Amino acid sequence: GEIYEGEITHGRKYTEDELWDNYAYMIQQIAPVAEEEGVYIGIHPDDPPVYPLGGIPRCMFGNFSGYKTAMEIADSP
């Protein structure tokens, strides 16, 4: 196969709002299923917390505010 060596977003720049909207959609779909099955979903901090990386803002898990927002979106154990 071919190896893609460009930016991971193929040159597209994403906004923080788009990332949070996508996160909200994803986590609201999988959290109930994970809870039913006894699966815990973990969040790993941005490591290192750089900004932005490959066209993707690093706004989500690089600070306490990001974790707080994530927990507010999916209030799940």
4: pLDDT strictly greater than 80:
no
Q: What is the residue extent of each domain of the chain?
A: 16-73
3-state helix, strand, coil split of the chain in percent (to 5) is 40, 5, 55
Higher per-residue confidence, 77 vs 21 = 21
Work out the number of other CB atoms within 10 angstroms of the CB of residue 67: 14
- Mean of the pLDDT values across residues 54-76? 82
34: pLDDT strictly greater than 90:
yes
30: pLDDT strictly greater than 90:
yes
pTM of the model: 0.74
The pLDDT of residue 52 is 73
48: pLDDT strictly greater than 80:
no
Positive or negative: CA dihedral 22, 69, 73, 17:
negative
